[in-house]
Structure 1
Amino acid sequence: MNKTFKALSDPTRRKILELLRDKDMTAGEIADYFHISKPSISHHLSTLKNADLILGDKQGQNIYYSLNSTVLQEITKWFFDFRERNDENETK
């Protein structure tokens, strides 16, 4: 889970996840939303893929990136479990 939190720590990567929430996109489509180099976008996408937060599906010469909802559900569960345990400790 450390890779996941590291990936989520960057605002550009969080914005990429928000973009992919709406639809699958290519690296070029994602890059259009930022004022940074395409190699920088590729680095961010690589970090997100290594953390299993996104998936890449090669279609012809393009790779379409999408959210990996399974990992996002696991993170959400971890947060809720963490919050629940914290609330239980506060009531003791």
Structure 2
Amino acid sequence: MGVPDTIKALSDPIRRDVLMMLKGGRLTAGEIAERSGISPAACSYHLNILKKADLVMEYRQKNFIYYELSATLFDELILWLSQFGGKCDEE
């Protein structure tokens, strides 16, 4: 996915909340749904969009699927967004 798709994925407040939760470490979909107060189906929908945007990765461990942030894309996004910022004052 490109930058427009990533920004679209970030436009939803529930998905932003999920990303903030994952900032603290890996979680299962059930843990994410419970913490955010959404149904498992809604959680699956939002996680799928975040995965397609490469904002989260999933890991299978035994009978569980864990989700965590994809740091690589965030680094690329920060670099891309920084081109629109003002120049920093040099000391």
Q: TM-score, with normalisation over the residues of structure 2? A: 0.88
1:83 Cα offset (Å): 1.4
- The correspondence for 2:52, drawn from 30, 47, 50, is 50
CA distance in 1, matches of 2:60, 2:15: 21
2:7 — aligned with what?
A: 5
CA distance in 2, matches of 1:33, 1:80: 32
Which protein has the bigger helix share?
Answer: 1
Residue ranges of structure 2 left out of the alignment (5+ in a row):
none
Give the CA RMSD over aligned residues: 1.0
- The percentage of counterpart residues that share the same residue type is 42
Residue ranges of structure 1 left out of the alignment (5+ in a row):
88-92
Q: How many residues align?
A: 85
Find the structure with the greater CA-based Rg: 1
Q: TM-score, with normalisation over the residues of structure 1? A: 0.87
